[in-house]
Amino acid sequence: MVGGITGRLTSPVAQRKQGGSLPGVGQDRRNKRNGLRLAAWAAALAPASVLLHELGHWSAGRLLGYRPVLNVASVSGGAEPGTAPAWEVAVQAGAGPAVTMLLTVAAIATARRGGSRSAAFALAAVAPVRMLMAPIGLLTWSLAALDLVRAGRPNFDEYNFAIAVGAPTPAILLPSSLFLGWAWLRVWRQLPSPRPVHILWLVTGMVAGLAGWVKLVGPVAVALIR
């Protein structure tokens, strides 16, 4: 006994032989399992979120009486600017982002309530990726307003919606950009530590899922729906 300590000091090698684990090893394993789970969910839900986003556009066009064509990463035809009433263009253009926002809010709410947290975190992270064009478009618009760049006519959901409803472009792009930032901030705050590691797992899964959608899942899904 040394200094009143009755238990024996056990070396790391002895700990392993006795079935114990090194300090931090158990936590590292849990982090790896959590990360793999997040990556797997992100890989699975990224294609699903893209499909649901595009089905929002496609379904809106069908309900309006058009015959839009579903593509892997877009919908062509239907209520298009210049050929359809402005309100119909707004409905079809806004349907995709509306679906994305609903998915994101539902995922964040599920994560807060302690449901399937890995799936909820993954969906909240990957679904709003389709809204990245909003901050990019807002930046381009700002630079063009300062005569720093020449911007052509964009063709993405938020811009087409703004034109259809007669709203200033920033009036739509700014809220969409803020929503994207809010969603990703909520994911960051609710993720367990170490957050950067889990974000890396999420991004890895998302990239794998989007690649799988473009190369395999998307063409098959589009062919079946058509």
Q: Are 205 and 42 in contact (CB under 8 A)?
A: yes
Cα Rg of the chain, angstroms? 24
- Checking if the pLDDT of 48 tops 90, the result is yes
Q: Which residue has the higher pLDDT, 152 or 131?
A: 131
Domain boundaries of the chain, sorted by first residue? 43-225
Identify the pLDDT of residue 134: 95
> Residue 152: its pLDDT value, please?
80
Give the pair of three-digit tokens for residue 159: 């811009």
Report pLDDT for 105: 96
CB contact burial 4-38 (16+ within 10 A = b; e otherwise): eeeeeeeeeeeeeeeeeeeeeeeeeeebeebbebb
* Amino acid in position 58: W
Res 10: pLDDT: 38
Over range 9-28, report the average pLDDT.
51
Q: Phi, psi (5° rounding) for residue 5?
A: -85, 115
With cut-offs at 50, 70 and 90, classify the pLDDT of residue 97: very high
Question: Coil, strand, or helix at residue 77?
Answer: coil
**Which has more pLDDT, 153 or 211?**
211
DSSP string, 96-150: HHHHHHHHHHHHHHHHHTTSSHHHHHHHHHHGGGGGTHHHHHHHHHHHHHTTSS-
Name which residue leads in pLDDT, 153 or 158: 158
Using an 8 Å Cβ cutoff, are 68 and 152 in contact? no
Mean pLDDT, residues 197-226: 93
Please state the rounded mean pLDDT for residues 186-198. Answer: 89
pLDDT at 114 over 90: no
Q: Are the CB atoms for 63 and 55 separated by under 8 Å?
A: no
The DSSP element (H or E) to which 68 belongs, if any, is none
Q: pTM here?
A: 0.84
When the pLDDT of each residue in the chain is averaged and rounded to a whole number, the result is 87
Maximum Cα interatomic distance, the chain, rounded to a whole number of Å: 89
List, as one string, the DSSP characters of 51-63: HHHHHHHHHHHHH
Look at residue 20 and tell me whether its pLDDT is greater than 60.
no
The whole-number pLDDT of residue 24 equals 57
Buried/exposed 191-217: b ≥16 CB within 10 Å, e otherwise: beeeeebbbebbebbbebbbeebeeeb
**The predicted structure's pLDDT at residue 145:** 87
Given a cut of 90, whether residue 151 has pLDDT beyond it is no
Mean per-residue pLDDT for 4-29?
A: 50
Report yes or no: 93 and 161 within 8 Å, Cβ to Cβ.
yes
Query: Three-state SS for 2?
Result: strand
